[in-house]
Amino acid sequence: MTRGRLLVFLGAAPGVGKTYAMLEEAHGLIAHGKDVVAAVVLDHGRSATAALAKGIETVPPRIVQHGGLRLEEVDLDAVLARRPGVALVDELAHSNAPGSPHAKRWEDVDTLLDAGIDVLSTVNIQHIDSLNDVVERITGIPQRETIPDGVLRQADRIELVDLAPQALRDRLAAGQVYPETRIDAALSNYFRVGNLTALRELALLWLADEVDSALQRYRSEHGIAAAWEARERVVVALTGGQEGETLLRRGARIAARSGSGELLAVHVTSEDGLAAPDPGALAAQQVLVEQLGGSYHRIVGEDIPTALIGFARAVHATQLVLGVSRRSRLVALLTGPGTSTRVIRASGDIDVHIVTHGFAGTRSSLVPQRRGALSARRRLLGFAVAVVGGPLLSLLLSATRTPDGLTADALAYQLLVILVALVGGAWPAAFAALLSGLTLDYLFTEPLFTLTIARPEHLAAVAIYLVNALLVSVVVDRAARLTRVARRSASESAVLATIAGGVLRGTDAVRALLERTKEAFGMSAVRLIVDGRVVEEHGEQEPDAVVSRVAVDAATAVELVGRPLDAADRGILDVVATQLGVALEQRALTDTARRLEPLAEVDRVRSALLAAVGHDLRRPLAVATAAVTSLRSSEARLSDSDRGQLLESAERSLDVLARLVTDLLDVSRVQAGALAVSLESIDVPDLLPAALEDVGAGPDAVVLHVPEALPPVRADPVLLTRVLVNLLSNALRHSPAGSPPELSLSTFGEQLQARVIDHGPGIDEDRRSRMFEPFQHESDATDSGGIGLGLALSRGFAEGMGATLEAEDTPGGGLTMVVGLPIDATVREPADA
């Protein structure tokens, strides 16, 4: 079955006309022959909206009475049974009334979409989850009804219903949004011009980012690498030279011309760091970038033009700004094409701007600014081997020279060149080849001790030797480069394996990904940024550390603090970002499931409550009703004794009902976290007479063990008395004749323990875990009476006071309930020295 399509009308504030626009769209669809029904359309008392809703078939909403209010909810079953082509469902972020199939209306919409039904809906910007805190700072009003960004981003179409702030205020003042009694308060609070302007900007920016994200998804899904100039992204290449300020200001002007262009500055550093720029100039240019509203990036690359083009394509740049080369004409003639020329050749569809400046042509050095694949130390060692090894080899060959030994001498020098190439790479090997060629001609080729070669075959041999030596040096240098690439690939594989292994072994995939990424890349800190806020951080930022950012999605990014990243690092981090996106989605699903667990518990409690009410409340209610009916009957002739018995039965039944209702209310307060607790310093022995009197226990009914000089505790006297009454009632009910229950008080560590001990049949271990749950009859005996709330209430009261309630076996049989009360530290006597 094809999934339905979702069209959402987005507004910056109430009253901009979202529902009206949705109804207009519906009438247009009806005119084109579409089957459209209104599942829920709220006109909010606005006559124009109500008039436009006429003529659209309505599926009657499900009416729910909740908290004295009449709520209209989507009748999901009726809409699915009607199976229209299009359904209108207003207020996508609405929270459904208790008892609905789903907690949120957007979940109802998702069900309709799964059934192949197209949906038109509405939502305001303040209900988007990621913007909730921003809207609260703007308006000062928290929004309790929100919709996840991901749900809204999955819509097939989002249309912004825009209205100027003053036009919306005029509409509000004319009574077209709220009733007359609410107009003045709305105009002076939520609907102030500043608030409306900020909300409007927020809506426009969110929608612009969503359009940009949708474009990137489309390009990625269709394998489109070429830049699309939907939004100008200007990349300015900085060398760290003094011309950087000129380039940045020119790039900022280019970005500003498009109205919404983005400015990015990038500096490419070599892997060896020998050609480091002036750090002061680069720091000043970074500050200037931020002042111009751009972002600064630093990457590492062996080849600057390749790294620049790679970065520009990675950020989908449309313009690339470079400065005119600082090389002089002589240097340019001798060294060949420069960075600018190579960038232009490789830029493809990216426009390249070459900007002149006052420092052009001022560099005349022929010293190369980049190294080969080998380190400077190895190259110096190669030169040393050539300088030392050449004379030593020449002395050895001179001592063993023969008239026909030129070939052997050439091979010996060839071996020296190979050795130098293996040690120092191409340049030392080329130096050794040239030096050994001259030595071979001077010392071993007739005529000796001159650079003249008499025989043509000897000239050819020396020339071939030089060519071979140079080729060998190039091959060895290339092999070193390939070895470095292979090591880098192996390192990247090891990094990915380390990250993946850490995720698989960890319980929190997001945390494991961040920690493994920090370790694998040798960073001082890694931060997870969601909607501009740091939600998770590992490590500490070091002074002067480089901060690199990798995007996960439009609202999420990872910041790595430490060394600069090169292009290869960013390639691996793209994979990490993809894994992190999946891990974040999994975390969100886990959090959602965790949030649903209390709802399942509430459903279980509700079912148990209904069963309990149907059974345990019916009996005393029936007895009381029958007694009152008999007393009021004019036909029954009752004696004073009969009348007294009926009154006593009614009173006893009503007392039972009152206790049950009180317990139910208390359980509701405990589960809702709304239990009123008033802690004070009390002496537990002072509460015992009232508790014993409440349970109707005589002097010999309970054995008391109360030592003298017990410390006071911090507790609520009313709640603690009720706990003791509940526990004593159970103990009295289940204690056999001749074995009265016991109540003992004693101190244990930082607690005063009240132990209520009975010698009844006890309780099985498998049932003990459930005895503190509501609506369980899991005390000492199976017939505990009531609806099973006593122990649940007792534990709830104890925990509300910061105390504990646990069950233990009584030695010899029975059950011991232990109440652990915190001793009042403010009045505790100091220990003896």
- Whether 742 contacts 769, CB under 8 Å: no
CA gap 477, 493 in Å, rounded: 24
Question: Which pLDDT does position 779 carry in this prediction?
Answer: 43
Residue (of 225, 302, 239) closest to 271 by Cα position: 302
- Chain-centroid distance of CA 45 in Å reads 40
For residue 745, the model assigns a pLDDT of: 93
Q: Does residue 90 carry a pLDDT above 90?
A: yes
Q: Which of 19-23, 393-397, 474-478, 703-707 has the lowest mean pLDDT?
A: 474-478
For the sheet with 804-809, list strands across it. Answer: 703-705, 742-748, 751-757, 815-822, 804-809
- Exposed (0-12), middle (13-18) or buried (19+): which is 2, by Cβ within 10 Å? exposed
pLDDT at 425 over 90: no
Q: What is the pLDDT of residue 438?
A: 78
**What angle (nearest 5°) sits at the alpha carbon of residue 600, between those of residues 596 and 602?**
115
pLDDT for position 122: 95
Per DSSP, the residues of 665-705 read: HHHHHHHHT------EEE-GGGGHHHHHHHTT--TTTSEEE
Q: Which residue has the higher pLDDT, 203 or 188?
A: 203
Instruction: Tell me the two tokens of residue 641.
Output: 């004794």
Averaged pLDDT, 404-417: 78
CA–CA dist 290, 544 (Å, integer): 17
At 232-271, the pLDDT tens digits run 889 999 887 778 888 888 888 888 776 667 899 998 876 5
pLDDT average, residue stretch 614-629: 69
pTM over 0.85: no
Handedness of CA 74, 77, 80, 81 (dihedral sign): negative
Relative to beta strand 118-124, strand 6-11 is parallel
Q: Are 386 and 473 in contact (CB under 8 A)?
A: no
- 348-390 per-position pLDDT tens digit: 888 899 888 766 545 434 334 444 456 677 788 888 988 898 8
- Strand 565-566 and strand 36-40: the pairing is unpaired
Strand partners, 40: 89
Reported confidence tier of residue 27, pLDDT bands at 50, 70, 90: very high
pLDDT for position 109: 94
CB distance 775 to 787 below 8 Å: yes
Residues 6+ apart with CB under 8 A from 378: 423, 424, 425
pLDDT tens for residues 309-349? 888 888 888 889 998 876 655 555 555 567 788 888 888 88
What's the pLDDT score for residue 429?
79
Q: What is the predicted pLDDT for the residue at 272?
A: 42
pLDDT tier for residue 427 given thresholds of 50, 70 and 90: confident
Confidence of residue 831 (pLDDT cuts 50, 70, 90): very low
Q: Per residue in 480-489, pLDDT tens?
A: 667 766 666 6
Task: Please give the pLDDT value at position 38.
Answer: 94
Bridge partners of 610, per DSSP, are none
Q: What is the pLDDT of residues 696-754, one digit of tens each?
A: 777 678 999 999 889 999 988 888 888 898 899 888 888 888 889 999 999 888 899 99
Looking at residue 323, what is its pLDDT? 86
315 SS3 class: coil
How many residues would you count in the chain? 833
Predicted confidence (pLDDT) at residue 454 exceeds the cutoff of 70: no
Q: For residues 474 and 482, what is the distance between their CA atoms, to the nearest angstrom?
A: 12
Report how far residue 417's alpha carbon sits from residue 435's, in angstroms, rounded to the nearest whole number.
Answer: 10
Contact 161, 5 (CB under 8 A): no
Count Cβ atoms below 10 Å from residue 805 Cβ, excluding itself.
20
Query: What is the DSSP secondary-structure string of 482-534?
Result: HHHHHHHHHHHHHHHHHHHHHHHH-S-HHHHHHHHHHHHTT-SEEEEEETTEE
DSSP 140-155: S------B-HHHHHT-
**Do 477 and 374 touch, CB atoms closer than 8 A?**
yes
How do strand 556-562 and strand 804-809 relate by DSSP bridges?
unpaired
Tokens representing residue 15 in the block: 């009253």
Judged against a pLDDT cut of 70, whether residue 295 lies above it is answered with: yes
pLDDT cut 70: percent of the chain above it:
76
| Amino acid 224: pLDDT | 61
- pLDDT band at 833; cut points 50, 70, 90: very low
* Per-residue pLDDT, 203: 87
Q: What is the mean pLDDT of residues 501-522?
A: 70
Do the beta carbons of residue 7 and residue 119 sit within 8 Å? yes
Q: H/E/C letters for each residue in 412-441?
A: HHHHHHHHHHHHHCHHHHHHHHHHHHHHHH
Token digits of residue 232: 């100008």
Mean pLDDT score of the chain: 78
